[in-house]
Structure 1
């Protein structure tokens, strides 16, 4: 399959190629591709810069817009170099709020490896973003209708479709509420979400084949579920921390501010404690969460899991049937 280069000058394209190769080496050195080296080929072949024709970088004077068609050559070079840094890129802001972004490439690589994609799998991506992740999936699986990406915002899906067309990939791009899935494109063997959710949407399970795998951000972690049937799934968290733009639409829940006053600095500064707080929000108050965290030896993310049983979902520590379990929405 071909990968187009877009409408940029040859000097910028040469710079992009060098920067892309350096990014792939950096991700590879971290071991992110070790579980499935085919993803190294995907990141080496699929350019990122056509998917981020502009993005925003935070600075002292607010957000600086970097633009690939700036009349200033140095500005274009800053844009293309930034497109291949291993960082998330803010691509859409609304009233100062981040609406859409291009995820950190090394995190994308870890998630795609953890998705455990096999040839012929039908994949649903929830959160189209720029289209870059869908392009990587299409590179891996081909352009035979196996990849679907969905987003609530028409302007996001329209731009993702344009970006994908520009580089020669044509997955199905759907405008709709990702929490409801894409029933017209089901059944799926894999579902991957690139937005933060408060729980596991039950509609996803009903659109999966038995044995399907779901990978979704939840409570600053990455949850990998195996689907048993249309009403049951279970799985654990990966060790990786993950922070994503919240899901927009029916499934969105506005988080409440939680006061950590009175807790030791050790807890305030630990990501694993904040993960437990997020996972047990509405069930444990911060002091109860801290007592559990200390008592259980400061558990890492991979000791937690989630069980979906019909209309009920619960998070748990160490054992689905054990003493520590908390309801999810």
Structure 2
């Protein structure tokens, strides 16, 4: 894809189609939707660039804004190509703080496969973001009221609504605290969060039908909970790491603790799996206890951990919810 004459745009529709096809091939190679290839059609069809009319990329001294209305055609092409990169895109900043982003497409594909959506399912998405994930769900399930997406910030929900309409999708877009769910549209068969919390809100379990599923980021991982009844859900983490913008309005997500690591070897302090254990067991283990467990259990991978939510309380565990390694999650 070579250059073009100054002041002239290459065919934007053709460029978008080519870039989208390249993204689909990249996700295919990652194996993200191997368990449910039907999602390939959604990523082929939904134009991501309509959901990111502008975004920010890291630059010396801060961020560079890329947008679809830049007067320079070369800059517009950089924006369009970047919209189809398999990478998260920062979409909202305030005083240098990241408020919202469009997640990495291959991670989105993996999460949608893990959600286990079936025809006719009613899905609640926590964290509307740009609206792109809701569009993928609408493409899979149809545009007849099965998809609900919620966000606390009215500016985010309004822009998501506009992006979705431009792409031809019309899910229910609700402004509200995602930690409380959307009770007026419950029950749901699936709940998926695209923002991080420090615990699983009981409202999500209560608003999900028995036999349903909740998928949410937690402590730099992704946990999938099978809903037993409105007061009880349980499940394990997926193997992949995941880092998301914290949910605004709910409890802040557990961060990655840095202080108090004396007694822990330096090479262990930076180990992703050790830091996952620290974040998950925060308040239940001090770093030296966590290191002793981590070493004793052979540096356990994420999929050995799980979470139980029951009667308004939640706890994390290693290997067995009734075993010796159990830590309370914030209420």
CA contact (8 A) 2:20 2:47 kept: yes
Cα deviation for residue 282 of structure 1 reads: 1.2
1:170: which partner in 2?
A: 170
Deviations 1:106-127 (A, max 9, x none): 0000000000000000000000
Partners of 2:39 and 2:247 in 1: CA distance: 26
In structure 1, the residue corresponding to 2:252 is in which secondary structure?
A: coil
CA RMSD of aligned residues (A): 1.2
Does the 8 A contact of 1:202 with 1:311 survive in 2? yes
Which range moved further: 105-114 or 57-66? Answer: 57-66
| CA apart distance, 1:253 | 5.5
Give me the whole-angstrom Cα distance separating, in 2, the residues matched to 1:253 and 1:34.
30
- What residue ranges of structure 2 are gaps of 5+ in the alignment? 1-8
CA contact (8 A) 2:219 2:254 kept: no
Matched with 2:275 is 274
Correspondence 1:247 to 2:252: no
What secondary structure is seen at the aligned counterpart in 2 of 1:143? coil
Q: In 2, Cα distance between the equivalents of 1:110 and 1:193?
A: 13
C-alpha contact (below 8 Å) 1:258/1:286 kept by paired residues: no
Output aligned runs, 1:229-244, within 5 Å: 229-244=229-244
Structure 1 runs (4+) greater than 4 angstroms displaced: 253-257
Q: State the partner residue of 1:136.
A: 136
Aligned counterparts of 1:24 and 1:255: Cα–Cα separation in 2:
32
* 1:44 maps onto 2:44 in alignment: yes
Q: Which moved more, 1:109-118 or 1:266-275?
A: 266-275
Whether 2:311 is the aligned partner of 1:325: answer no
Report how far residue 269 of structure 1 moved. Answer: 2.4
Helix, strand or coil: the match of 1:200? Answer: coil
TM-score, normalized by length of structure 1?
Answer: 0.95
Counterparts of 1:27-176 in structure 2, within 5 Å, are: 27-176=27-176
Give the whole-Å Cα distance in 1 for the aligned partners of 2:65 and 2:312: 44
Alpha-carbon offset, residue 267 of structure 1: 1.2
Superposition deviation, residue 221 in structure 1: 0.3
Contact 2:88 2:105 in 1 (8 A): yes
Q: Answer whether contact 2:198 2:254 (CA < 8 A) is retained.
A: no
Q: Secondary structure in 2 aligned to 1:155?
A: helix
Distance 1:262 1:292 in 2: 14
- Residues 15-67 of structure 1, C-alpha deviation per residue, up to 9 Å, x if partnerless? 11101100100010111111100100100000100100000001113100001
**Displacement, 1:255?**
4.6
- Structure 1 stretches lacking a partner, 5+ long: 1-8
> Equivalents in 1 of 2:80, 2:253: separation in Å?
36
SS at match of 2:306: strand
Deviations 1:53-84 (A, max 9, x none): 00000111310000111110000000000011
Aligned equivalents of 1:231, 1:298: Cα separation in 2: 32
SS at match of 2:11: helix
Q: Tell me, what secondary structure is at the counterpart of 2:284?
A: coil
SS at match of 2:205: helix
| TM-score between the two structures when normalised by the length of structure 2 | 0.95
Q: How far apart, CA to CA, are the structure 2 residues paired with 1:18 and 1:203? A: 42
